[in-house]
Structure 1
Amino acid sequence: MLVSARWLPIIALVGFAVVGPLVGARLVHRRRITIVLLAASVCTVLGLTLVPDGDPSTAVACAVGLPYLSLTSVESLSNVLLLAPTALLAGVLLRRPVAGAAGAIAVSAIVEATQALVPAIGRACDTSDLLTNALGALVGGVLAFVALALARRRTAGAASRVSTS
């Protein structure tokens, strides 16, 4: 589906960049919902990356290379988008955007290692996937930072309205 709609990943990424911090700011004080959404995000990542696809391979290998980053590169943009929500949600939940991004990068590293070490799933390990996933995790971390700043601003504004009443 994504190959036929090359514009979809960039629209999704831009939409996520706009909506993500707003949703994240609303989730700051809703821990349970954030935990459920984070779990769903991680399960989605694992499902998209570890469900068997193709014929099992007998070789343990990893393609080594740099990603091709372009606004029309469906695979790279999809990989950027894959872990951005996980990093955003983890950063908001922990109230530490850097830790959220680091956790999402760790998930990506575990996925790539699993793809390399478990050839029965028929998935290919690729360093460019790890790099684009890490870029997405950093985007998610930045958006978590913005979400937390928006939440602090909203809380400060509410407190000032209460004190002046």
Structure 2
Amino acid sequence: MGLTSYVIDFARGNADFVLQAAATAAACGASVYFALRRWSPRVLWWALTAACTIGILAVTLRPAGGYAQSGASCVVHGIDLEFFMASDMPGNVVLFVPLGLSAMLASRSPSLAIVCGAALSALIEAAQAVLTGIGRECDSSDWLMNTLGAVLGAALARLYCTRIEPRRNRSMPARHR
């Protein structure tokens, strides 16, 4: 099974999650953009980082239709082939890419963007372990895949800052920079 078919199968099996995440991110991002479009780009990136954080919290801490756990617990997985083939792994990665990207463009620090993504994911997993009434399960693989998403987002932003933005600035007349 190729990556493309795997992602398509994931989207089909988790259509409600994918639609909710996309709608939340789009609504938050559009609202922030229209509210702050006259401000400096760095302020806009920080605001988009906050919007991504709110969207992530809304998706990951909403009550699940499942069972309520009887006590705080967390599942810790080893890393093997089955770990990477779990049905929710692509969603966990994709969920944190916009956060890593916007945090890197706001701070201009890939390290800060990655640490923020990893810390937010750790806080979410801790909340899922402690808030047993929401029917969510703390899982070490979620933290790892969320952090990977933040790394990918920061890498994309770094690529933009080092390769694309300098070329664009060289081709623009000085009065438009």
Aligned-partner Cα distance in 1 for 2:151–2:73: 26
Alignment match of 1:125 (pick from 138, 144, 158): 138
1:64-106 CA-to-partner distances (Å, cap 9, x unmatched) read 1046224xx5410111111111010000011112211211111
Alignment match of 1:112 (pick from 117, 122, 125): 125
**Within 5 A, what are the aligned runs for 1:82-101?**
82-101=95-114
Identity in percent? 31
The aligned counterpart of 1:139 is 152
The aligned counterpart of 1:155 is 169
The aligned counterpart of 1:63 is 75
- Where relative contact order (Cα < 8 A, 6+ residues apart) is larger, the structure is 1
Q: Following TM superposition, where does structure 1 have runs of at least 4 consecutive aligned residues deviating by more than 4 angstroms?
A: none
Aligned-partner Cα distance in 2 for 1:98–1:151: 20
Which amino acid letter does the alignment assign opposite residue 127 of structure 2?
A: T
1:80 matched to 2:93:
yes
Number of residue pairs the alignment of both structures matches: 140
Offset at residue 50 of structure 1 (A) = 0.7
- In the alignment, structure 2 segments of 5+ residues that lack a partner are 1-5, 13-17, 19-36
Query: Is this contact kept in 2: 1:38–1:90, CA < 8 A?
Result: yes
Q: TM-score w.r.t. structure 2 length?
A: 0.69
The aligned counterpart of 2:41 is 30
Query: Is this contact kept in 1: 2:75–2:138, CA < 8 A?
Result: yes
**Within 5 A, what are the aligned runs for 1:9-48?**
30-48=41-59
Query: Is this contact kept in 2: 1:84–1:136, CA < 8 A?
Result: yes
Change beyond 3 A, Cα 1:79–1:122: same
